[in-house]
């Protein structure tokens, strides 16, 4: 199988963006709906599933474990196998570029007496799995290649997992989720202790599927406990719009003069809205309209109008609620007047690329004064961005989309060296941007 050839793309200054659009379903919730549907007894029907490569790979993974996931009409259906009902796959499971799918499925494998080989693409195979493997090993998961911490790797699960209490050394919704998923299959209560809040989609959806999950705050710590030997029941799930995808459209509308757009049905869970809080602090005209709740999650329509932005200090404790959005925030910070300082970005160094270094390099290549100080990114905004540079994406979809957003308001065109990986998370990105008025051109 040959890798797709790089596909460079350039973007030039846009006329005002306008219109009403709906972004694809939230990736985090899509992954979890497929996985919990597989673990549940009965059928789970999912509307609005994100049909991007990462999520499709999770659908293939649960299918290979004996819980078929298929699209029937406009609904995805998962035939759940109930407690202990998944089976050993006949071949290795390829997760492509999906760190979320990989880590959550490690929690699934941990609780089943099966041996599973997991693999991924070149980018995913460089990403460390130590944080998630450490607690799962305490519970009883075995790594066949002792000491291995990157894909490909072979894992051996157990029907006799030990419940644990585990304090997260670094905030991570993926690690927390893997432990809670494994805890469903342990005899007793498994507790994860957080020092900082992370995305709570796993807790919300586990409750929706019938698991007993408690969250208690004590002395500044959050204790999330799941009761083992759980029996989940198939559910109907409506996946709300992904706020991380909506972020690119929102940022584009803020920097392109005269823009006025509305993004419908977006997830506004407070563990995911750090970017929107930051943009409002920068002077962004952002309004949350028609708030409502679906499937245990809060959603709203987001109206965004072009605004003159100012630099701000983004505190480290906001990082968990916007970790995926820092590249696009940095990409538009050059259009703000004054300095934007983003603290606490250590996690960006171990994403699909060293996202922190790639973001800073892309800014400098396009005439923006930016520098890294430890785990802090500092952007000195002048109100305008020269552009004219080519950005090295390092196979990172969010780097590509962040700079394709920046180029919509830069003086000269901005080029990214590859766009093929955008399909892993947001294949509709270009189409939706062009629907609002953006214009892109492929480079020879």
For 335-373, write each residue's pLDDT tens digit.
999 999 999 999 898 777 799 999 999 999 999 999 999
Range with top average pLDDT, 120-124, 196-200, 247-251, 440-444? 247-251
Answer whether residue 409 is part of any domain.
yes
Alpha-carbon distance 55 to 33, whole Å? Answer: 10
Is residue 302 scored above 80 in pLDDT?
A: yes
Identify whether residues 131 and 163 lie together within a single domain: yes
**54, 121, 242, 324: the active-site residue:** 324
Is residue 4 scored above 70 in pLDDT?
A: no
Answer whether residue 3 is part of any domain.
no
Identify whether residues 13 and 64 lie together within a single domain: no
Answer whether residue 416 is part of any domain.
yes
Which residue, of 207, 223, 238, is where some domain finishes?
238
Answer whether residue 336 is part of any domain.
yes
Which CATH number covers residue 65? 3.65.10.10
At 131 the three-state DSSP class reads helix
Residue 233 DSSP label: B
Kindly report whether the peptide bond that precedes residue 227 is cis, defined as omega within 30 degrees of 0: no
Residues 60/70, Cβ–Cβ less than 8 Å: no
Domain encompassing residue 79: 27-238
- pLDDT score, position 265: 95
What confidence tens digit (pLDDT) does each residue in 88-141 have? 999 999 999 999 999 999 999 999 999 999 999 998 999 989 999 999 999 999
Is 417 an active-site residue? no
pLDDT band at 6 (very low <50, low <70, confident <90, very high): confident
> Into how many domains does the chain fold?
2
Pick 3 or 22 by higher pLDDT.
Answer: 22
Identify whether residues 301 and 229 lie together within a single domain: no
Name the least confident of 270-279, 287-296, 394-403: 287-296
Identify whether residues 142 and 223 lie together within a single domain: yes
Alpha-carbon distance 35 to 223, whole Å? Answer: 23
What Rg do the C-alpha atoms of the chain give, in angstroms?
21
- pLDDT score, position 2: 41
Question: 272: buried, middle or exposed (CB in 10 Å: 19+, 13-18, 0-12)?
Answer: buried
Residues 42/284, Cβ–Cβ less than 8 Å: no
**What are the distances in angstroms from CA 408 to CA 179, 286, 346, 383, 391?**
42, 19, 29, 14, 15
Answer whether residue 1 is part of any domain.
no
**What are the distances in angstroms from CA 403 to CA 117, 399, 419, 421?**
36, 6, 11, 14
Cβ contacts of residue 224 below 8 Å, gap of 6+? 176, 180, 191, 192, 193, 194, 203, 213, 214, 215
What confidence tens digit (pLDDT) does each residue in 216-238 have? 999 999 999 999 999 999 999 99
* Token pair 């805890």: residue: 183
pLDDT band at 444 (very low <50, low <70, confident <90, very high): low
Identify whether residues 222 and 261 lie together within a single domain: no
Identify whether residues 399 and 411 lie together within a single domain: yes
- pLDDT score, position 79: 98
Identify whether residues 170 and 319 lie together within a single domain: no
Identify whether residues 408 and 434 lie together within a single domain: yes
Identify whether residues 330 and 436 lie together within a single domain: yes
Identify whether residues 16 and 63 lie together within a single domain: no
Identify whether residues 216 and 306 lie together within a single domain: no
Answer whether residue 427 is part of any domain.
yes
Which residue, of 238, 269, 292, is where some domain finishes?
238
Residues 288/196, Cβ–Cβ less than 8 Å: no
Identify whether residues 253 and 323 lie together within a single domain: yes
What secondary structure does DSSP assign to 385-430, as a single string?
-----EE--TT-HHHHHHHHHHTTTSSS-EEES--GGGGGT-TTHH
pTM of the model: 0.85
Which residue, of 195, 220, 238, is where some domain finishes?
238
- pLDDT score, position 197: 87
Answer whether residue 2 is part of any domain.
no
């Amino acid at each position: 199988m040959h890798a797709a050839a790089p596909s460079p793309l350039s973007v030039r200054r846009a006329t005002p963006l306008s219109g009403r659009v709906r972004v694809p379903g939230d990736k985090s919730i899509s992954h979890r709906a497929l996985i919990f549907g597989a673990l549940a007894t009965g059928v789970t029907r999912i509307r609005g599933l994100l049909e991007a490569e990462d999520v499709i790979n999770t659908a293939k993974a649960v299918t290979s474990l004996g819980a078929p996931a298929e699209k029937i009409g406009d609904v995805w259906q998962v035939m759940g196998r109930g407690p202990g009902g998944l089976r050993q796959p006949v071949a290795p499971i390829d997760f492509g570029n999906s760190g979320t799918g990989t880590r959550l499925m490690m929690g699934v494998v941990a609780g089943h007496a099966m041996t599973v080989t997991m693999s991924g693409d070149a980018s995913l195979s460089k990403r460390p799995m130590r944080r998630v493997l450490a607690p799962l090993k305490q519970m009883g998961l075995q790594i066949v290649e002792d000491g291995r911490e990157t894909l490909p790797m072979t894992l051996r699960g157990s029907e006799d997992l030990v419940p644990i209490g585990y304090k997260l050394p670094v905030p991570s919704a993926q690690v927390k989720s893997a432990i809670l998923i494994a805890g469903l299959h342990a005899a007793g209560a498994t507790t994860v202790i957080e020092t900082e809040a992370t995305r709570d989609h796993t807790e919300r959806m586990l409750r929706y599927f019938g698991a007993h999950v408690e969250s208690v705050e004590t002395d500044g710590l959050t204790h999330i406990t799941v009761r083992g030997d759980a029996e989940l029941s198939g559910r109907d799930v409506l996946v709300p719009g992904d706020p991380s995808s909506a972020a690119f459209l929102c940022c584009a509308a803020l920097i392109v003069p005269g823009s006025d757009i509305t993004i419908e049905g977006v997830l506004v869970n407070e563990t995911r809205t750090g970017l929107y809080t930051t943009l409002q602090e920068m002077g962004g005209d952002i309004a949350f309209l028609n708030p409502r709740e679906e499937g245990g999650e809060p959603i709203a329509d987001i109206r965004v109008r072009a605004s003159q932005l100012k630099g701000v200090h983004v505190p480290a404790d906001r990082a968990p609620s916007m970790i995926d959005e820092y590249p696009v925030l940095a990409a538009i910070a050059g259009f703000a007047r004054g300095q934007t300082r983003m603290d606490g970005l250590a996690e960006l160094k171990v994403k699909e690329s060293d996202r922190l270094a790639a973001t800073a390099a892309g800014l400098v290549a396009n005439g923006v004064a930016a520098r890294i100080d430890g785990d802090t990114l500092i952007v000195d905004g002048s109100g305008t961005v020269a552009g004219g540079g080519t950005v090295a994406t390092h196979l990172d979809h969010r780097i590509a989309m962040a700079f394709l957003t920046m180029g919509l308001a830069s003086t000269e065109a901005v080029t990214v060296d590859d766009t093929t990986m955008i399909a892993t998370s947001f294949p509709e990105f270009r189409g939706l941007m062009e629907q609002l008025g953006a214009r892109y051109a492929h480079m020879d």
